[in-house]
A and B are shown apart, each in its own frame.
Chain A
């Protein structure tokens, strides 16, 4: 099955600096890569996602890049703010035209980001 590795496990940055989180996946058939943010005691929420037909996607201060050949994708947060402090998870899944086929997400181990004022 799919295996997703995520690094680093913790990341401390100064407010205003950039943060980068990297993930690798094992199954070349994976084609959907979402990123989730989980604040303490709360549910994970989608912050950005990318599909395999796109190399990069941006949404304000957040960007994700995908390298299909190397099977890795990264999350970039620019101009970090204290409210960016949270645990971030990458995930991978396989879209299928078969309704009954699994489109389950396999998650990385998470990165705890701390933005210091």
Chain B
């Protein structure tokens, strides 16, 4: 293990609060991603970043925000505008070999529960 680390593993949030999920990687990867996984479903892309100080919305960005101030870090903030935030959140990173995509490495995930 190691390479890409998410914290905390479990997070509880009261309704109306913002919370920030941490993702750090020491793989020297340029690209980082945030996915949301709901029970029995696939992974849906929230935000992704190809380079420092730049990021793009994924398929379900509403109610979330990100920053990419450092290559190693890509924190995700779940805002009070996200109406159904309870889910398993996965961070990933990848790089390229020339023009080819390579394997995405995932963190261990953060399970967020709204109480």
Q: Which residues of A contact B (CB under 8 A)?
A: 1, 6, 9, 32, 34, 42-46, 49, 51, 89, 93, 95-97, 99-110, 112
Contact = CB atoms under 8 A, between A and B. Distances in A.
B108 A43 contact: yes
A6 B33 CA distance: 22
Nearest to A98: B99
B50 A44 contact: no
B30 interface: yes
B17 to A, nearest CB: 25
B106 A32 contact: no
B56 A109 contact: no
Interface residues of B, number: 30
B33 A104 contact: yes
Contacts of A106: 45
Contact of A109 (B41, B50, B99): B41
Contacts of B56: 102
Given A1-B59, A43-B107, A103-B31, 8 more contacts: A42-B108, A51-B100, A89-B42, A93-B101, A95-B99, A100-B54, A103-B101, A105-B33
Interface in B23-75: 30-31, 33, 35, 40-45, 48, 50-51, 54, 56, 58-59
Contact of B42 (A43, A102, A107): A107
Nearest to A34: B103
